[in-house]
Amino acid sequence: MGWSLGERIAEHGVPGAQVAVLAGGEIQDEAAGVLSTNTQVEVTSDALFKIGSITKIWTATLVQRLVDEGQWELDRPVRHHLPGFPATLTARHLLTHTGGIESNHFFDTGRNADALEKYTDAIAAAEHPHPPGTVFSYSNSGFVVLGRLVEVLSGKPFHDVLRERLVEPLGLRAVATDADEAILHRVAVRHGEDGLPVGNWAVAYGTAPSGSHLAMSARELLEFVRLHLDDPKLAVLRESQVEAVPDLGIGAVGWGLGWMLFGDGVVGHTGVSKGQKAFLRVVPETGTAVVVLTNSVNSEELAHEIFTDVLGDHRTTV
């Protein structure tokens, strides 16, 4: 890649990171640092990092597959299968964060197969601040509702569907859908601003399984991105749905179906997971993509530098 990731993370005070670049159909990756400053276990290319809200693109992909198969329509009210929600709320609203559902509901509904069902029932009964389709309001909870919709339409738990429809067909090995799977791998832990490990590895399972719970390696995340670049049916997810969004501090200027739009032909997503940060930027026109996964809250400048090097000065938003 022409530079040392180890030197860069040291400069920015990031304990550990992975970077992967897809260009010319090939993926190159590099790992550096440690998974935890307590254990000093080194980061390798197959180690797992939380990808945070980049999980939402995986959920959007499952929804689109069901649409392509004729099992659902994006503008059909979700209450056809999920009672209690507003009559006008659709999957398109949820995918574009215009569903009017509060950003984060913290209902701990356990880790059993009915966690999403219980969580979604609780969201349906909660007060929603905006009517569907009226306001852009980023909502992790809305994507949990989408995860439950996937379960109902597929007749299986969300993560079983995720594995059967995406992880296994892509031949991915370094992907974990929960902590029980993650513990079988080298796993990054979160670090605070002081560079020390802090707190739990993730929020309660039921609050985020289809919104921000996945963990994987940078290389395997790019294998998923390659699917999007190769499959014309998935290009619809990158089409603009919301042309102006509030400043969320991440550079997004619009929204597709699950994808953030950064302008100048760049799409992607940013993920924040309790002390781990993940960054994905893709230029579909050139087939180029970059992933930066870190176990630190202090990694925006690191990602900015890497995007500048790979994508150019005009495509550096983080």
3-class SS of residue 182: helix
Contact predicate 76/89, CB 8 Å = no
Q: How far apart are CA 128 and CA 262, in angstroms?
A: 28
Across-strand partners of 261?
254, 267
Judge whether 53 counts as a catalytic residue. Answer: yes
Q: How far apart are CA 91 and CA 143, in angstroms?
A: 9
Nearest-10 crossing angle of helices 115-125, 140-154: 130
Contact predicate 74/241, CB 8 Å = no
Closest to 272 (Cα-Cα) out of 48, 49, 84: 49
Token readout for 310 is 């790979």
Among 4, 36, 45, 53, the one annotated catalytic: 53
Radius of gyration over every alpha carbon of the chain, rounded to an integer in angstroms = 18
Helices (H), the chain: 5-12, 55-68, 91-95, 115-125, 140-154, 158-162, 179-182, 218-230, 300-311
Alpha-carbon torsion 162, 168, 173, 179, what sign?
A: positive
How many Cα neighbours within 13 Å face the side chain of 32? 18
Closest to 12 (Cα-Cα) out of 276, 270, 298, 317: 298
String of b and e for 41-69 (b: at least 16 CB within 10 Å)?
Answer: eebeebbbbbbbbbbbbbbbbbbbbbbee
**Strand ranges inside the chain, DSSP E:** 16-23, 26-33, 49-50, 175-176, 215-216, 254-255, 260-263, 266-272, 277-283, 288-294
Active site residues: 53
